[in-house]
Structure 1
Amino acid sequence: MTRPANPRIQDVARRAGVATGTVSNVLNNPHKVAESTRVRVEQAIDELGFVRNNAARTLVSGRSDTVGMVVIDLGNSLFVDIARGAEAAAAAAGFHLWIANADLDHPKQETYVGRFEEARVAGVILAPVDGPLDALRAARRRRLPAILVNAPDSHPDLCCVMVDEEQGGFLAAQHVLDQGARRLVYLAAHLGLSAIARRRRGIERAVAAAGADLEIVRAKDLSIVSGQESGRRILSESAVDAVICPSDPLAIGVIQAAAGLGLSVPDDLLVIGYDDNHFAAESRVPVSTVSQPGREMGRTAMGLLLEELRDPDHVHRTVVTQPELIIRQSTTPLA
C-alpha cells in the first residue's frame, strides 16, 4: 500500500484493518479499544504519517478543546505568570491553551482575537492593550465566550480578573515614606495606561496623608535604558529621597544611574519597582517591588471561562485580586 500525500482517517482504518470508528476511539477514547487493536492502529498512524484535522473535527462536533489567549506583553514576566496559571487550569480541565503576544500593539491584539475566532477556539482570554475591544465585542455577538484579565476597567457583560492597582501604588509609596523618605518622585512612562495612572492615584493618596512632597516625572518607556536616562536627569537636578517606578526594569536603570553619580542605594536613595519580574531579585542591588498574583489571575480567568462554557447564561462578575509589597535591599531603612 502506497502512502497517501495527505492521509485521512479512512486510510488509517484500511491500513490497520479496522473500522473508522475504531480509529476514532483510539484517538479520543483509547480505553475503549483492546490493546492489540490500539497498537495496530497506532502503528498504522505512524506508518502513514497521519495527523488528525482538529479544525474539521471541531466543525463536525461543534466543540473545541482549545482556548486562545492574547496578552499585552510577554516580555513582562507578569504576563508569563498569568499565561502559566491559565495553562495549568486549562490542562486540568482537558483543554489546550494557545498564546499570542500583542506586544503592546492594539491592531495586533485585534488581529489575534479575530484569528482565534476563525480557528473556532472554545473561548478567548484577553489581557488587553488599552483601547477599544472591537474585535472581542464582535466575537461576543457571535457567542464566543471571553474573559478579560488585567484589564483597564471592568465590563458588566464580561467576566474580568483585575488587580487593585491604586492599592499597589499606595503600598509602594507608604513603604518608602515609612523608611523616612519625604521627597518622592514617581518616574512614570505611559501615564495614559490606566494601570500606571491608577498607581499614581495610590501614590498621591499616601503622600498627601504623610504631608510629603511628590514630583511626577515622565520617562520615555519602561526599560532599563529609560531608567538610566531619566535617573541621571532627576538626580542631577534635584534632591530626591525615593524614586517609585511602575516597572522593575525602570527601577534597575535608576539604580544604575545613581551608582554612576556616586550615590548609594539604599543609603542615599530609595528605589522601588513594580511587577516583581523574575530578574528583580537577581540584580546587583535586589529591587523592592510590588507583586501582582499572576498565576492566581490566570487560574481564575480560566476558571471563569470554564464556567461560561458550561453555562452561557451565567452571571458575569469581576474578581479583584490584591497586590503584595516585596521588600528587598533597594529600600532598606535610610541611614
Structure 2
Amino acid sequence: MEERQPNVADVARAAGVSLGTVSNVLNNPAKVTPRTRSKVEAAIAALGFVRNGTARSLAAGTSRTLAFLVEDLTNTFFLDLAKGAEEAAQAANLNIVLANADSREDKQRSYLDLFEEERVAGILLAPRQDLLDQVAPLRYRGVRVVVLNAHPPGDVCSVETDNVRGGYLAAQHLIAGGCRRLLFAGAHRFPAVVDRLQGTRRAVAETGGEVTLEVMTTDGVTADDGYEVATVIHSRSDQDRPDGVIAGADLLALGLVQATLVRGRLRVPEDLSVIGYDNNREAWSSLVPLTTMDQAGVQMGRSAAELIIDELRNPREHEHRRIVMEPILVPKSSTRPLVGDPAPPATPARWLPEHAPGQA
C-alpha cells in the first residue's frame, strides 16, 4: 500500500498545538509567537509535510495560479508571450504554469480539461485558430480565458497582432528597397498568414501596377517549406523569378535564404530580398541575418495577463476587450536598404525597445 502523506492534523499532533495554530503558521504567521512558529515549522520539516494547494484552493474558492497553454514552443514567439505573462503575474503575486499543445487538438483539449479540473484562476490560451471552438464551453462554465494570437469568437478578451498591417509594412519595405516582382509564400491554413497576404496585396495595389505579386502556397511554414520555395525560384530565368519574397514565417524565410546561399547562383539581398515574420530566435543564426516583423510578444503576453488579472480582481466591472498590437519592422541584411539609408546591421539584433499596445 502507498504510504499516506502527512496532513495538517499530523503536524498539529507532532508540534503539540491546535489545528488553528498550524493554519495560522501556514497562512498568517504574524499571528503566532516566534517560539510556537518554530515548533510548528520543525514538525513540518520532520514529517515532510507539503501543503495541498488544490484542496486549499477548493476550500477558499480561489487559486493563485494562472495556466498558459501555447500552440507550439518550437517558435520562440510563444516563449516571448510566456515571458510577458509571467512578469505581469509575478507583479500581481500570482504563479503561472506553462503547457505546450504541439499544435495538436487532443493535447490542447486535454490540458484545458486538466486546468479546469484543477480550478486554476484563469487560462491564457495561444491556440491554433481552428481549435478556438474549445473556448466557448469553458466560458459558459465560468472559466476565465484570454485568447492570444488568434481571432476568438464570442464574448472573450483577446490580444493579437495586426497581421494585415504587418504584411503591408513588409511589402512596403521591399518595394521601397527597389523590389518590383514580389512573391508571397506561406501556408493558407493559418489565418495569420492569410492576413499577412491581405496586407501584402494592399501594398502592391497601391503601386498602380508598378509592382507585381505572385502567391505560392506551401504545406507549412518550416525551413523545409523554404527549401521548396527556393527550388521553384532557382528553376526560373532571371526575367521570370521574383526579386523580393515575403515569407509567412521566419523559419520559412530561413530555409529559403540558406538554400539560396548553398546554390550560389543568386545573392541575398542583391538579387533576392527576403523578409520573414515573428522575429523567431531559431532564425537568428542565419548566415544572412533576416529582416523580419516583430510581434511584440513580451508586451502581448503582459497585456493578456493584465486582462485576466483585472477580471479576477474586478469581476463585476470588468469589460471584455480586444487589444491589437502594432507589428514592428526589424531591418537586417536579407533585404536591400532604402535609397540613402545606411546598410542594415550585419549581426542579428538581440534586443528591441518595448512598444505600447494599440487598441481596436
TM-score of the superposition, structure 1-length normalised?
0.93
1:190-234 CA-partner distances (Å, limit 9, x unpaired):
x12110100000001111112311111122222112211221222
The residue number in structure 2 matching 1:137 is: 136
Contact 2:258 2:287 in 1 (8 A): no
Amino acid in the other structure paired with 1:84: K
The residue number in structure 2 matching 1:257 is: 259
1:70-110 CA-partner distances (Å, limit 9, x unpaired):
11111111111111111111111111111111111223212
Partner Cα distance (1:69, 1:304) in 2? 13
Contact 2:124 2:148 in 1 (8 A): yes
Partner Cα distance (2:133, 2:285) in 1? 40
Partner Cα distance (1:148, 1:332) in 2? 36
Contact 1:65 1:96 in 2 (8 A): yes
| Worse-matched range after superposition: 71-80 or 130-139 | 130-139
1:263-289 CA-partner distances (Å, limit 9, x unpaired):
211121101110001243332111100
Partner Cα distance (2:54, 2:276) in 1? 44
The residue number in structure 1 matching 2:300 is: 297
The residue number in structure 1 matching 2:313 is: 310
For residue 156 of structure 1, report the CA deviation from its aligned partner.
4.6
The residue number in structure 2 matching 1:105 is: 104
Amino acid in the other structure paired with 1:86: A
- From 171, 175, 182, the equivalent of 1:184 is 182
- 2:240 counterpart of 1:270: no
| Worse-matched range after superposition: 281-290 or 134-143 | 134-143
For residue 132 of structure 1, report the CA deviation from its aligned partner.
4.7
SS for the counterpart of 1:186 is strand
Q: RMSD in angstroms over aligned alpha carbons?
A: 1.8
Contact 1:123 1:305 in 2 (8 A): yes
Partner Cα distance (1:176, 1:201) in 2? 16
Partner Cα distance (1:47, 1:268) in 2? 71
For residue 148 of structure 1, report the CA deviation from its aligned partner.
1.0
Amino acid in the other structure paired with 1:172: A
Partner Cα distance (2:234, 2:134) in 1? 44
- 2:218 counterpart of 1:202: no
For residue 25 of structure 1, report the CA deviation from its aligned partner.
2.6
The ranges of structure 1 where at least 4 consecutive aligned residues each deviate by more than 6 angstroms after the TM superposition are: none
Partner Cα distance (1:204, 1:217) in 2? 13
Q: 1:133 to 1:267 in 2, by over 3 A?
A: closer
- What is the correspondence of 1:1-335 to structure 2 with a 5 Å cutoff? 5-151=4-150, 153-189=151-187, 191-210=188-207, 211=209, 212-237=211-236, 238-262=240-264, 263-313=266-316, 314-333=318-337
For residue 164 of structure 1, report the CA deviation from its aligned partner.
0.5
1:308-334 CA-partner distances (Å, limit 9, x unpaired):
112333221111111000000111339
Partner Cα distance (1:30, 1:213) in 2? 71
Amino acid in the other structure paired with 1:209: E
| Worse-matched range after superposition: 164-173 or 98-107 | 98-107
1:248-303 CA-partner distances (Å, limit 9, x unpaired):
11111111111122121112110111000124333211110000011111111111
Contact 1:267 1:334 in 2 (8 A): no
Partner Cα distance (1:98, 1:20) in 2? 31
SS for the counterpart of 1:131 is helix
Partner Cα distance (2:131, 2:291) in 1? 34
Partner Cα distance (1:334, 1:141) in 2? 51
Q: 1:206 to 1:24 in 2, by over 3 A?
A: same
SS for the counterpart of 2:284 is helix
1:44-64 CA-partner distances (Å, limit 9, x unpaired):
222211111111111111111
Contact 1:159 1:316 in 2 (8 A): yes
For residue 39 of structure 1, report the CA deviation from its aligned partner.
3.2
Partner Cα distance (1:231, 1:219) in 2? 12
Amino acid in the other structure paired with 2:242: V
Partner Cα distance (2:308, 2:93) in 1? 13
Identify unmatched segments of 5+ residues in structure 1.
none
* Count of aligned pairs: 330
Partner Cα distance (1:258, 1:135) in 2? 41
